[in-house]
Chain A
Amino acid sequence: MKVLAMVLAGGRGERLYPLTRDRAKPAVTFGGIYRIIDFTLSNCINSDIRRIYVLTQYRSISLHRHIQFGWSILSAPLGEFIEIIPAQQRIDEHWYQGTADALFQNIYTLQEGMPDLVLILSGDHIYKMDYRKMVASHLEKGADLTVAAIRTGREHSREFGVIEVDRDWRIIGFDEKPEEPKTIPGDPEGILASMGVYVFNMELLVKRLIEDARADSSHDFGRDIIPSMIGKDRVFAFDFRQGDRGGTKYWRDVGTIDAYYDANMDLISVTPQLNLYDAEWPILTYQPPYPPAKTVWAEEARMGTALNSIVSNGCIISGGSVKRSILSPNVMIHSHAEIEDSILLEGVDIGRYGKIRRTIVDKEVRIPQGMEIGYNLNEDARRFTVTASGIVVVPKGIRL
């Protein structure tokens, strides 16, 4: 059974602004050393799916570089690849108009590969899933399309495509972000949310993409393709619990700054919901060859410390203190600086006596000596993005 993965990595991630000002959402750093797309790509490799196309469009330079540096790990002579396909405007002169349009514009790619099944994934989500189990379920049910579904509370229905199933998990309804969702049979408070993970029989996918391309449509899998197939084709849901590698039902969209912050902070808890330590399910990434992290100065008045934190390679905590924070590679904390509950991305430099709390500092930003961020949100809001829950974001390229 020849399976081809198509990873949709064109998401603009507008609600993650300003983290997505210079990069597509899949290229946003997560957990110190990872990019969001690493989770989907690692799932593919760990599921033994080694023919992977990544479809990009907006602000893709950072993503291209990451995949080139970190993911040139497969063997072309064995027919394996991770290949980036930028929007080529080969058919249409416009940007992709929706997820289905992104696939339609690349049907030449399917023609070349001639897979039996196409696994359509989003590069926007963080989770650990064995796609082989989903493919097995697809084949077992004789499905034309299988949609991965996660159980969540009905109060979240406005955030997801909500799936309605019968007793055999055949999909009989699909509503994009409904106010009054159809609940799970036997669970009036639960709904099945689409994870944006699809297994398609290739020929039928091509037919449905073409029909959609020629119709008045928003060209979206959730809004158009799936509803058009229900009742006509064999469309089934796959329970994420059966393929969840972590066993914690962990799946995050990290669509907003607050969700991004919370998902990062989960990683510094004693037992995170997202387990990065499963040796059988490594999360691969690219790391520049920095030396190991280091703390210096251990005098009473000048102590370099990091507590309940993630500290990546290349960091030097030089006489400052770091608590409950995540430091990406090559971060420098100078003497008497205090960092709490914050996320510092690669190359950030915090000057002496700087105080940073509940703040995300984007790459390469230098915080000058004595500056305080996160202590006076009204003041911060004049210069930075401040979210509803009070998280400050200091954007890339800012000169302070």
Chain B
Amino acid sequence: MPKNLLFLMGVVFSYGIIDNGPMKKKVLVVEDEEGLRLLYEEELKAEGYEVITAKNGKEAIHQLEAGKPDLIVLDIVMPVMDGIEALGRILGKDRKIPIILNTSYTGYQQDFMSWAADAYLTKSSDLSELKDKVKELLEKGKTG
């Protein structure tokens, strides 16, 4: 009996906090490198987000319209369409959506369009900065 109750509590708990159905926030991860894309997807899912992905800027624009994400994590150096160009076009369609530029390069900060992103992060094996930023920007969107 106590075991069952514990299970039930666990269901209620997880239902209330993590798996809250339509309230779940959706993150679009745009990353050309497959390994990284999977890693971000897994890690952000573990944080309780729904995750959709795109391999380049062009796919990202498609996913923006098809998947209606709440936030975008955007790589810059990608084939087909890079993140800087995609950023401009994304804002042309949805000027409010929070965007995190996530790149291995710091030089793109001199690119004016990169100033339009809500955050500019340098890729790291430690994903805590990225997770914190995602959380912070989604919280901000909730209150604002």
Contact = CB atoms under 8 A, between A and B. Distances in A.
Interface of A: 90-94, 107-108, 110-111, 206-207, 210, 213-215
A91 B115 contact: no
B111 interface: yes
B114 to A, nearest CB: 10
Contact of A214 (B95, B112, B113): B95
B89 A110 contact: no
B92 A92 contact: yes
Nearest to A207: B115
A91 to B, nearest CB: 4
Contacts of B95: 213-215
Contacts of A110: 112
A207 B115 CA distance: 7
A111 B112 contact: yes
Nearest to B84: A108
B116 A213 contact: yes
A49 B4 CA distance: 81
Contacts of B116: 210, 213-214
Interface of B: 88-89, 91-92, 95-96, 111-113, 115-116
Given A206-B112, A206-B115, A207-B115, A214 B96 contact: yes
8 contacts: A91-B92, A92-B92, A93-B92, A107-B113, A108-B113, A210-B116, A213-B116, A214-B96
Contacts of A215: 95
A92 B113 CA distance: 13
B99 to A, nearest CB: 10
A17 B91 CA distance: 34
A91 B89 contact: yes
B88 A111 contact: no
A107 B92 CA distance: 14
B127 to A, nearest CB: 26
Given A111-B111, A111-B112, 7 more contacts: A91-B91, A110-B112, A111-B113, A206-B115, A207-B115, A214-B95, A214-B116
A108 B88 CA distance: 11
B6 to A, nearest CB: 47
B115 A214 contact: no
A346 B98 CA distance: 54
A151 B95 CA distance: 38
Contacts of A90: 88
A297 B71 CA distance: 79
Contacts of B92: 91-94
Nearest to B98: A214
Contacts of A111: 111-113
Nearest to B88: A91
A108 B115 CA distance: 12
B87 to A, nearest CB: 9
A267 B89 CA distance: 48
A210 B89 contact: no
A5 B111 CA distance: 21
A104 B54 CA distance: 27
Contacts of B111: 111
A125 B124 CA distance: 53
3 closest residue pairs by CB, A with B: A92-B92, A91-B88, A210-B116
Nearest to B113: A107
A93 B96 CA distance: 16
A210 B88 contact: no
B8 to A, nearest CB: 45
A92 B89 CA distance: 6
Nearest to B87: A91
Contacts of A92: 91-92
Nearest to A203: B112
A207 B91 CA distance: 15
Contacts of A93: 92
Contacts of B88: 90-91
Contacts of A94: 92
A275 to B, nearest CB: 41
A49 B75 CA distance: 39
Contacts of A210: 112, 115-116
Q: Which of A91, A108, A210 has the most CB of B within 10 A?
A: A91
A165 B111 CA distance: 35
Nearest to A110: B112
